[in-house]
Amino acid sequence: MLLRRKHARDAGEIGRDMTLRADAARDAGQWQTAALLYSEAARLLPNSANLRIQAGHMFKESGIHEEAEAHYKAAAAMAPHDADLALQIGHFYKSSGRPALAAEAYGRALTLKPKWDEARNELAALGASGWRAVRERHAPTSLASDVPLLELVPRPHEDLLVDHQEGVEMRRLGRRERTRWGIETTLRGVEAIRGFCISLRPVTEVQLYLNGQLIHRGMVKGGYLLKHERSDLGPRKYVFNIWYDFSSYVPGWHDIEVRLMDGRSRPLSHHTRIVIDEPLSERAHAASDGVVEVAVGDDRTIEQQIRSRRSMVREGRRAMFATPPQTILVQRADQLGDVVVSVPAMRRLRALFPEARIVGLVSSANRDLVETLELFDECLPIDFPDDLWERRRVMGIEAQRTLQRQLAAYNFDMAIDFSENASSRPLLLLSAAPVLVGFRSDRVPSLTIEIEGNTHDRWDGHEIVPHTNKLLGLVEWLGAMARSETNIVRRKNLSRERLAAFNLLETERFVVLHDGARLKFSRWPHYLRLAEQILAKTDVRVVMLTDDPVDQSSLPESLLASGRFELIDRRLPFDDFDALLSFASVFVGNDSGPKHIASLRGTQVVSIHMARNNWNEWGQENGGLIVSRRVPCTGCLVWHDPEECGKDFACITDIAPEEVARAVYRLL
């Protein structure tokens, strides 16, 4: 008994001595030493909550959070009603990056001491940081939002106002192309250089410099009020659209500068480096209105030459391929697994083009597998290694030349790269095929048909379907692009009797002219002259639909006197409107919805197409004729800011009534 008491006295004395040593280490900033001493003292004096707290503090300061947490929990078990201890534990969890446990501890401190501002402020600070308790969260049941979609909500007018700064904004200056000098901004032949400048002073002239030499000077249009400009006294917009022929310049790198001059010759300019390459021919790019040639030795200006040319008249029925491809190259020059997942897509390609000769370009290591699949008429193995140093697949210059000679013998009509990785995409160019197909990549900006088909896991952004499906998607996309079926849907419940309301007999032939379009600047301005010519040269009736009220007295005398002209300047019930479009012998309209409805009903359509987008994209598909003009600024996509055209929409206003009339006569 005496020995046990002696031992207890010794343990207590040792514990108290360690506590004193721990206090000294703490005061000296020796956190880890103090932590170990407090921990040992707490073992010797197991009923001391304070020693557990001090050990927790010191382990926390030492960054040993697991030990600190163990001591804090032990202290809390000994002193469950200690509000200050609960607060200290909250501080520990907050500094450890565990806000949920910190909030729980602060909440316990506030429960033990309800009016304690310090605990209440700590909880408020957690809430202000954006944290919330699990019980306050609402688990989403779907991807749909249950709150307003803010990106669709109209913004206050004031939020759209800006203070415009002076400068030059280019809307068009060449295009990115693969050239002998790399993938660079390139100019070829007749080009449009268009844009605008923002200036506080009136701008009087635009100048174009090449390698420091002045090569063009001309007028600007403006100054237009800037939309969304905050100040009524702010700068104005001055627009330029330069048509210039670069055919005479040496191919290669050049410095180009656009200068905008005010009355005091204070320039605003845009300067950059571009590549000039050989011009393209209209014959080789018959479907492109943006490729324009001008005559050598013609004394007229480029603009005079272009604007005096005849318009283009093309068939509405069209297809990507005039005839199905006869020879097709398929690239799969990568790994074994890549070949395997491509099998369904390759089979589908064969089904789409059953008569074509399909040649596979595959890595040498995969040749044996490919030949067992019997997918290709011929297999060409190549070495296209993945270079670990460059982290991409590479092929030396001599190997490229050898492959180019091999591929030239096949005279490919189309080449397809089945790899989603862009490393092999440049190989398509060695095939010299006129149609290149593959997944979209900036490394080959000249693909004819490309797809960017992806699926996304909501959280990590990676794919959620097998790669096989994506390859099938590429081939199905190719098939969709190659389709040329008509799309005619006639109404069985629509009767010609409705035409009587417009003074038309059921057996009478008539032409409908529709002068409307959502974009007012895309409306051809010569419909009345066209009506006069059709009435003069044919025996058909002419029904003109217009979006705007018309003063009858302003019409030409020949139309007022004609018994075969009907003007409708009011909104019609849809069935009446549909009847006019469905039973017309010919419909003439702008690039707008009614043109497409008439084509859908099987009516012969003459569409008058401006060059803001391509005629072969938005022209009607079921037949008829499409009238457009070749201009170098084709594809401008002008919409909200029509003043940026800079050429008064010559691409549509220069289409002559006689040209449209001849197209109508062809279809009657």
Q: Are residues 518 and 586 in the same domain?
A: yes
288 lies in a domain?
no
What pLDDT is recorded for position 153? 87
What pLDDT is recorded for position 135? 60
Element (H, E) at 184: strand 182-188
- CATH at residue 263: 2.60.40.10
Beta strands in 200-323 (DSSP E): 203-210, 213-218, 221-225, 236-245, 252-262, 268-277, 312-315
397 lies in a domain?
yes
Q: Are residues 207 and 74 in the same domain?
A: no
Q: Are residues 46 and 130 in the same domain?
A: yes
- CATH at residue 94: 1.25.40.10
360 lies in a domain?
yes
* Number of separate domains in the chain: 4
> Residue 40 has what DSSP assignment?
H
Cα dist from 499 to 326, 334, 627, whole Å: 49, 64, 28
Backbone angles phi, psi at 441, to 5 degrees: -155, 135
Is the distance from CB of 391 to CB of 382 less than 8 angstroms?
no
Residue 80 belongs to what domain range?
Answer: 2-134
What pLDDT is recorded for position 129? 86
Q: Are residues 451 and 505 in the same domain?
A: no
Backbone angles phi, psi at 458, to 5 degrees: -60, -30
Q: Are residues 335 and 464 in the same domain?
A: yes
Helices (H), 28-163: 31-44, 49-62, 65-78, 83-95, 99-112, 117-128
Pairing of strands 213-218, 182-188: unpaired
Cα 316 from chain centroid (whole Å): 28
505 lies in a domain?
yes
Q: Are residues 80 and 174 in the same domain?
A: no
Q: Are residues 264 and 378 in the same domain?
A: no
- CATH at residue 467: 3.40.50.2000
In the structure encoding, which two tokens stand for residue 484, read together? Answer: 């040329």
Amino acid identity, residue 340?
V
Task: Out of 134, 169, 200, pick the residue that ends a domain.
Answer: 134
What are the average pLDDT values for consecutive 10-residue runs of the chain, which has 668 residues? 49 84 90 89 88 89 90 91 91 90 90 90 87 63 65 87 94 93 95 96 95 96 92 92 97 97 86 96 94 92 96 93 94 91 95 96 92 93 90 92 96 96 91 94 82 88 91 94 88 93 92 94 96 96 91 87 93 96 97 95 97 94 95 95 96 98 97
269 burial type by CB count under 10 A (0-12 exposed, 13-18 middle, 19+ buried):
middle
Element (H, E) at 331: strand 327-332
Q: Are residues 347 and 478 in the same domain?
A: yes
Q: Are residues 521 and 425 in the same domain?
A: no
